[in-house]
Amino acid sequence: MKKIIITILLLALAAGLAYAQGKDIKQITLPNIQTELAPGAGKDKVETLCNICHSVDYITMQPSGTKAQWTATVTKMKKVFGAPINDADSEVISSYLAEHYGTAK
């Protein structure tokens, strides 16, 4: 019980301090949520390159795509958004995506 009361007092103090330091400041900390990709050739490239701009749940969320659809998506990431992916890596990534998150086995 004592412990609980002390904890409550400390929390109240901390809250008060935060308020005193600046009621005009709002600050949040985003959670670190990771999504595990299917094992396979190319996974490391996807994790390294796609992750520069977005979490890989952008991949796992998508409907099953054809190889052509995934290739078009990787091309869009390069041409439209400037993703630093060379041609060899593009092929590796598109194949990986089509195999594990697509229709093209």
Partner 1 sequence: MDEYRLSRRSLLKGVGAMAALAATGGIPADLFASERMARFPEKADLQLLTARPPQLETPLHYFKELITPNEAVFVRWHISQIPTSVDLSSWRLKVGGNTDKELSLSMDDLKKFEKVVYTAVIQCSGNGRSFFEPKVFGGQWKNGSMGNVTWAGARLKDILNNAGIKAGSVDVSFDGLDRPPLASVPDLVKSLPVDKALEDDIIVAYEMNGQSLPMLNGFPARLIVPGWYATYWVKSLSEITVLAKPFDGFWVKTAYRIPDTPYGCVEPGAAPKKTIPINRMTTRSLIIEPAIGTTLKSDMPVNVTGLAFSGGYSIKDVIVSVDGGKNWGEARLGKDMGRYSWIQWSYPWKPERPGKYILMAKATNSIGESQPFEGLWNPAGYLWNKVEKTEVTVRQEGP
Binding stretches for partner 1 (CB under 8 A): 22, 24-31, 33-35, 52-55, 57-58, 61-65, 69, 73, 80-84
Give the residue with the Cβ less far from partner 1, 7 or 60.
60
CB of 89 to partner 1, least distance (A): 16
Give the residue with the Cβ less far from partner 1, 73 or 91.
73
- Residue 82 buriedness (CB in 10 A; 0-12 / 13-18 / 19+): exposed
- CB–CB of 63/103 below 8 Å? no
- CB–CB of 100/37 below 8 Å? yes
Tell me the sheet residues that pair with 65. Answer: 102
CB of 37 to partner 1, least distance (A): 14
Give the residue with the Cβ less far from partner 1, 39 or 63.
63
CB of 13 to partner 1, least distance (A): 21
- Residue 98 buriedness (CB in 10 A; 0-12 / 13-18 / 19+): buried
